[in-house]
């Protein structure tokens, strides 16, 4: 489902937070960077290999009931709270900030994701929403065996810089990152203190998402929480935090054939 790219025209396409598609239910506040579910724009279906970048907040005691997926690599990154995962292959776990999770849907998988936050403190019940970003990329091959992986990478994030979170690229073999079934794609995260900067990798396609805080992009100006940038045939720009920030960056060396 992927093809490597030929010559591309360099471009930096900034997408502001309030331009995203929105789904609001009594239990869910979801913002979609690309066409998703009932929201469809034929000019906004993907960038590179990335089809979904959903920014979700789920209320306590609620969540996504069991539902199917097929032929997709799904990476979940929690920003606040905890998310309980269960799937039809027998995997179950709690995902929290600093823990990367990948689910390969392959030939078909059923799973649920819920926020069951509830605790007592001083005799009072406290509940917290869970805030997470879920990202989907296409796999190298259809009909692979479904799989699941999670990995704690908080220590790497504390050391600073742009940290590989999920990758199928050979250059990250041996790195503390979960593996995805696409050799042309890698996801990075960085937690930045005010004034701290990282340099973006060079690639045919990059996707930068400001998950928390505010930053400045070299030659483009300020980016607020929820803003995203789609880069084509470029890279090397500096991203500098203007307040405590967390960013997610996809490096992609192919796009989707026929889209």
Q: How do beta strands 215-217 and 238-241 pair?
A: antiparallel
Q: Which residues contact 162 (CB under 8 A, 6 or more apart)?
A: 188, 189, 190, 198, 199, 200, 201, 249
pLDDT at 61: 87
Tell me which residue of 149, 136, 180 sits closest to 48, measured CA to CA. Answer: 136
Identify the band that residue 259 occupies on the pLDDT scale cut at 50, 70 and 90: low
Identify the band that residue 122 occupies on the pLDDT scale cut at 50, 70 and 90: low
Q: What CA–CA distance (Å, rounded) separates 40 from 250?
A: 22
pLDDT at 162: 97
pLDDT at 70: 96
- Structural domains of the chain ordered from first start: 2-256 (2.60.120.10)
pLDDT at 176: 83
Length of the chain: 259
What's this model's pTM, rounded to 2 decimal places? 0.95
pLDDT in tens, 155-175: 999 999 999 999 999 999 988
pLDDT in tens, 187-243: 999 999 999 999 999 999 999 999 999 999 999 999 999 999 999 999 999 999 999
């Amino acid at each position: 489902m992927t093809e490597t790219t030929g010559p591309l025209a360099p471009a930096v396409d900034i997408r502001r937070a309030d331009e995203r598609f929105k789904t609001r239910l009594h239990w869910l506040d979801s913002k979609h960077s690309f066409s998703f579910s009932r929201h469809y724009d034929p000019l906004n279906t993907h960038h590179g290999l990335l089809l979904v970048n959903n920014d979700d907040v789920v209320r306590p005691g609620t969540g996504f009931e069991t539902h199917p997926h097929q032929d997709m690599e799904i990476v979940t990154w929690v920003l606040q709270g905890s998310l309980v995962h269960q799937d039809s292959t027998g995997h179950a776990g709690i995902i929290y900030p600093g823990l990367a999770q990948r689910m390969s849907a392959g030939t078909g998988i059923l799973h649920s994701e819920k926020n069951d936050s509830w605790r007592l403190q001083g005799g009072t019940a406290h509940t917290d929403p869970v805030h997470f970003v879920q990202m989907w990329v296409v796999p190298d091959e259809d009909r692979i065996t479904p799989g699941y992986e999670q990995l704690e990478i908080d220590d790497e994030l504390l050391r600073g810089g742009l940290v590989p979170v999920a990758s199928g690229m050979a250059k990250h073999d041996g790195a503390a990152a979960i593996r995805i079934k696409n050799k042309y794609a890698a996801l990075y995260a960085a937690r930045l203190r005010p004034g701290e900067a990282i340099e973006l990798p060079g690639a045919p396609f990059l996707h930068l998402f400001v998950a928390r805080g505010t930053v400045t992009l070299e030659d483009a100006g300020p980016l607020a929480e929820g803003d995203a940038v789609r880069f084509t045939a470029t890279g090397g720009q500096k991203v500098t935090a203007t307040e405590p920030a967390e960013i997610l960056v996809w490096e992609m060396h192919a796009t989707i054939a026929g889209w």
